[in-house]
Amino acid sequence: MFFFRHSSYQPIRNLPKLLRSYNSRGGSIVEFQRVVSCILYSSKSSRYVWVPPDGSGALRSLPDTITTLLFGWWSLSGFFWTIQVLFTNLGGGRDATQEILDATGGGDAKLAQQALDEHDKAQLQQSIRAVLLFVGIVGGVALIAWLVPIVTDWYTKRPVSARAPSTQVNGRELHLQGIFYNGNGRSTAVIDRKSVSVGDHIPGYTVLAIGPQSVTVKSVNGQEKTLQLSDRRE
C-alpha cells in the first residue's frame, strides 16, 4: 500500500507585515503548523504569526490546533504528525524570529516584499510557459489530426500514370524459351531461363495461362500480353 505525504513550503505571504510589527513593537515571529489527512493522504503546512511581548503563543495557535485535532489523525503519517504538531503548537509554537531576521537582512520589510514580488513573477512566468506548452501540444495534435485525412485522401485519389504495354522489364524483353504443356493443368514454361507455372510471378508480370504454343502474362498495370513460342519473344 502506498501513502502520499505532502509538506507545504510556501513563501510567507504576510512576512512584510510581520516584520513591520516586529520592528515597531518587538515580540517574536512564531511558526504554527496544521495537519490534514484522509486514509492515504497526509498534508502538513505552516502559518507564521507575530506574537507581542506579552502575548500567548498557545492562544494564537488555536486555529491550527483545532484544525489538526479535527482532521489530522486520519492516516498513518497524519497520526504521528498530529502528535508532534499539537505538542509544538500548544507549547507556544516554534520561534522563527532569528531565522527570518537572518534571511531578510536583519528584518528589512522592503527586502521581504521584493523577494515575494520576484517569487510571484517567477511563478507567473512558469504558469505562462506551461499554458503555452499545453496550447502548443494541443495545437500540434489538432494540426496532425486535420492533416492526416487530407493527405490520406490525396494519396488514395492521386492520378496514376498509365504505362504503355511492354514486354520489357528493366530495359530487356521477356523471352519465352520453352513450354512443357500438360492437359491436366500442370503445364510449365521457361521464361528468361526461369521455370514458371500458372500463378507464378516474374519481374513485373504474373503468369495467367500456359497453352501449347503460348503463354499469357499480366503486367502490374493490368495489361495482358501473350508470348508466342514460335516467335521466342513477344
Which of 67-81, 129-143, 208-222 has the lowest average pLDDT? 208-222
Cβ atoms < 10 Å from Cβ of 215: 26
Q: Which carries the bigger pLDDT value, residue 226 or residue 171?
A: 226
Give the DSSP letter of residue 3. -
Domain ranges within the chain, ordered by starting residue:
4-119, 173-228
pLDDT at 166 over 90: no
Residue 167 to residue 175: CA distance in whole angstroms: 9
The answer to whether the beta carbons of residues 3 and 76 sit under 8 Å apart is yes
Q: What pLDDT score was predicted for residue 179?
A: 86
Encode pLDDT of 51-69 as tens digits. 999 888 889 999 999 999 9
Q: How many CA atoms lie within 13 A of 76 on its CB side?
A: 5
Fold of 173-228: SH3 type barrels. (2.30.30)
Q: What pLDDT score was predicted for residue 169?
A: 47
Residue 104 to residue 173: CA distance in whole angstroms: 92
Supply 140's cell numbers. Answer: 500540434
Residue type (1 letter), 139: G
Q: Could you tell me where the DSSP H helices lie in the chain? A: 15-25, 57-60, 62-71, 76-90, 97-103, 109-157
Q: What is the pTM of this model?
A: 0.51
Cβ atoms < 10 Å from Cβ of 117: 10
Q: How many CA atoms lie within 13 A of 205 on its CB side?
A: 27
Encode pLDDT of 104-159 as tens digits. 888 888 888 887 788 778 878 888 989 999 999 999 999 999 999 888 888 777 65
The answer to whether the beta carbons of residues 108 and 91 sit under 8 Å apart is no
Question: Does the CA dihedral 169-234-193-182 come out positive or negative?
Answer: positive
